[in-house]
Amino acid sequence: DVKVTQSSRYLVKRTGEKVFLECVQDMDHENMFWYRQDPGLGLRLIYFSYDVKMKEKGDIPEGYSVSREKKERFSLILESASTNQTSMYLCASTFGIEQYFGPGTRLTVT
């Protein structure tokens, strides 16, 4: 079974803090993704990576950056957290069409 894990299920941070969200997959997948899910807006793609050290912007990359130093790990960074980044963050990985998701991190920025 594919396993995608995320470092925290719940996180509370203050405005202006730097926030790291970590994602690890154990299936040697090349492609990894970060989404955020908000009520009424569905899943929106923030960034994705198709190889180590490679990254591509998704639909809403502003305020975020990513890092992929190893194939199994994809990190999402909020350089200076803001209240409008309060959301559920979902990581996914894929080799083919189907994406496997982690359990999500509920981030609250106060």
**Binder among 7, 13, 44, 86 for other proteins (CB under 8 A):** 44
Q: Is 90 in the site for other proteins (CB under 8 A)?
A: yes
The DSSP letter of residue 15 is: T
Q: Which stretch binds other proteins (CB under 8 A): 12-20, 41-49, 62-70, 77-85?
A: 41-49
Strand pairing of 87-94 and 73-78?
unpaired
Q: Is 45 in the site for other proteins (CB under 8 A)?
A: yes
**Taking the complex as a whole, how short is the minimal distance between the CB of residue 80 and other proteins, in angstroms?**
26
Burial 27-64 (b: 16+ CB within 10 A, else e): eebebbbbbbeeeeeebebbbbbeeeeebeebeeeeeb
62 vs 98, beta carbon nearer other proteins: 98
Q: Is 104 in the site for other proteins (CB under 8 A)?
A: yes
